Chain A
Amino acid sequence: MNNLPKTGNETKKKLRPAPWQIALIGFFLFYMFLPIVSTYVFSVATRWDRTILPEGYTLEFYLRAFQSSYFTITLRNSLILSISTVLTSLVFIVPTVYWVHARLTKAKPLLDVLMILPFGIPTVVLALALIQVYNRPPLARSPELLIGAVVVYSMPFMYRPVSNALQALDIRTLTEAGQSLGANVFQVMRRVIFPNILTGILSGSLLVFSTVFAEYTLTSLIVGARFKTFPLLLVEYTRINGNVAAAFSVISFTIAWLASILILWVGSKGQAVHAETFQAH
């Protein structure tokens, strides 16, 4: 398919996917969706070990999930953890990336390497190292330490989209253009740079939110039962009742999904408000 089309006939042929391409895409979709669909089905199945499809359906497991004594508190903890991580990332990472792109381009390669490190260090190692270094109260094994850890762990997810969005802009020239028109640096940031990287910031926030919401290793090792989050509860239930664990998975998935929609909605609203202020002017 990499051959250049030589005749009109061949060009036409290229437009239609070949059977093997359809098969490949089909396999990919199957591979991606099978676990999710299975989890959904398992969460409402009465018994599913002797037949291809479940023998019956029930909402009982959801009832048990919602009635679990830890349900609300773990959900609350997970939300606290995810939201504060997103906010911390926004406060620290976004201005840093802007600064590096605008004024300190020499430091960019360094930052690029730093941002790969969290992928290279196993979370178990990161957790144990943090526990050893911060072994005194009030930080030791505190939720605050956990937030610090997940900020580091999820850093690349905020850095990449924001950095890419900034890369696509000629920040220095745009800033200078704004200044030559009488705007100070903050006005340029607010009116020109920020609206243009908003999409990057939003997708970064989304990635961080969903990553942290599903984070298990760091939470389990650093705070454990002192600050139980949703994934901890979920794992706990895999040992008690697989169906309830599946119901938890579905709930977790739905929350991440709703959060995505919320963030996107806030973003589009922000842009709309922005456009309106311009129009009003």
Chain B
Amino acid sequence: MAYLDLKDVSKSFGGVAAVKDFNLEIEKGSLVSFLGPSGCGKTTTLRMIAGFEQLDSGTIRLDDADITTVQPNRRDIGMVFQAYALFPNMTVRENIAFGLEMKKTPKKVSEKRVNQVLDMVRLQDTAKRFPHQLSGGQQQRIALARALAVQPRVLLLDEPLSALDAEVRLVLRGEIRRIQSELAITTVYVTHDQEEALSISDKVVVMNKGIIEQVGSPEQIYRAPQTRFVATFIGTANQFHGKVSGKDSIDCSNVRLFTEPLKGFMDGQSVVVLVRPENIQVQAEQPGAGRWNAIPGIVETITFHGAVTRLGVNASGQRVVADITVANNKPVSLNQKVWLQFPPNVCQVMAGEE
């Protein structure tokens, strides 16, 4: 039995469906991310869990009790907002103590608890300051401490890092994961940043247009996308359109691609083959015959990304991107003729539109 269980949850705003038949089970102590473009329904779902939006239909159960219609302040669910939402009239200590005060916690216990969570977010010396005296990153740490102080059953984070600088974002996301693991608190994390979702989650829920596209571990989502949306939304993927011809090959307009033995596809069916840029090797010479795919092309763009260099290659009209590392490859120049090579097992085949 899952700890947090969403069953057939639907919600629409003014006739437009925001979330459709959402079913998800979240295990106790895990960190689950809702990932998707803006307007995909991820924040709406989170707000329904928090109790800020009413469900049109469906149920939400927490720890085996139906909380669908329970008031937000009686759910015992903590929340961290994108805009921090610290109370401007209170000091850091007062902000964190607010929830404990609402719970009528004895003063001594509350004080100890405030110090504990301040330690946890490593901001002990800010207790007497007001929110406006803190940086964005510090404010968000305090918001996290405030949410954790009351020891909620579930922690919800709504794009908590979106308003911060890239550097702070990176540090804080590590902190969030560390604290979450330490406390083993069941957490739902909403983000549109795939790197963020993949790096900190136990489980990623990819959403689009109000429905779940795929649920899986970060590795599964990245390596084995089940829909074209997931494949193209997560990371970069080259798409080759073609038709199935034979049990392990696809006929594309100008090349024939070899894949792993195909299952569930009919001969002649339209398909899309997805290949990640990092799985493509770039060779200057034409390779010998074999089961590897080899496509000739002309280098059109070279973009330096630090650890890798991304090449844009024109392969007889089709644009293909490939990532090369400096260590493994000879330098490549613009307009150079190259051969793109990749093994059959990196080709992800999906049904294409007719």
State in angstroms the CA–CA spacing of A170 and B51 once bound together: 19
CB-defined contacts of A177 to chain B, threshold 8 Å = 79, 81, 85-87, 143
Is B271 part of the contact surface with A, judged by Cβ < 8 Å?
no
CB-defined contacts of B35 to chain A, threshold 8 Å = none
Select A176's contact among B72, B87, B99, B146, beta carbons within 8 Å: B72
Is B135 part of the contact surface with A, judged by Cβ < 8 Å?
no
Q: Assuming the A-B contacts A178-B98, A180-B78, are A278 and B85 also in contact, with contact meaning beta carbons closer than 8 angstroms in the complex?
A: no
Residues in B75-125 with C-beta less than 8 Å from chain A: 76-79, 81, 83, 85-91, 94, 97-99, 101-103, 107, 110
Most chain B beta carbons < 10 A, residue from A176, A191, A196: A176
CB-defined contacts of A242 to chain B, threshold 8 Å = none
CB-defined contacts of B50 to chain A, threshold 8 Å = 176, 180
**Could you say which of A79-87, A125-133, A182-190 contacts chain B?**
A182-190
User: Size band of the A side of the interface?
Assistant: 20 to 34
Check B87 against A192 for contact (C-beta < 8 Å): yes
Is B52 part of the contact surface with A, judged by Cβ < 8 Å?
yes
CB-defined contacts of B253 to chain A, threshold 8 Å = none
Check B85 against A181 for contact (C-beta < 8 Å): no
Check B78 against A176 for contact (C-beta < 8 Å): no
Most chain B beta carbons < 10 A, residue from A182, A183, A187: A182
Looking at chain B's contact residues, the main secondary structure is mixed
User: Size band of the B side of the interface?
Assistant: 35 or more
Looking at chain A's contact residues, the main secondary structure is helix
Select B98's contact among A176, A191, A195, A196, beta carbons within 8 Å: A191
Select A182's contact among B73, B85, B97, B110, beta carbons within 8 Å: B73
CB-defined contacts of A191 to chain B, threshold 8 Å = 87, 98
Is B250 part of the contact surface with A, judged by Cβ < 8 Å?
no
Q: Assuming the A-B contacts A176-B79, A181-B146, are A196 and B88 also in contact, with contact meaning beta carbons closer than 8 angstroms in the complex?
A: yes
Give B29 Cβ to nearest chain A Cβ, in Å.
20
State in angstroms the CA–CA spacing of A170 and B86 once bound together: 10
Chain A residue with Cβ nearest B155: A180
Is B147 part of the contact surface with A, judged by Cβ < 8 Å?
yes
Is A50 part of the contact surface with B, judged by Cβ < 8 Å?
no
Is B188 part of the contact surface with A, judged by Cβ < 8 Å?
no
State in angstroms the CA–CA spacing of A173 and B87 once bound together: 10
Is A179 part of the contact surface with B, judged by Cβ < 8 Å?
yes
**Per-residue CB proximity of A151-190 to B under 8 Å, as 1/0?**
0000000000000000001100110111111111001000
State in angstroms the CA–CA spacing of A281 and B156 once bound together: 27
CB-defined contacts of B152 to chain A, threshold 8 Å = 180
Give A168 Cβ to nearest chain B Cβ, in Å.
9
Residues in A29-85 with C-beta less than 8 Å from chain B: none
Check B83 against A181 for contact (C-beta < 8 Å): no
Residues of B within 8 A of A (CB): 50-52, 71-74, 76-79, 81, 83, 85-91, 94, 97-99, 101-103, 107, 110, 143, 146-147, 150, 152, 156
11 A-B pairs within 8 Å (CB atoms) are namely A170-B83, A170-B85, A173-B85, A176-B85, A179-B52, A179-B71, A180-B50, A180-B72, A192-B89, A281-B107, A281-B110
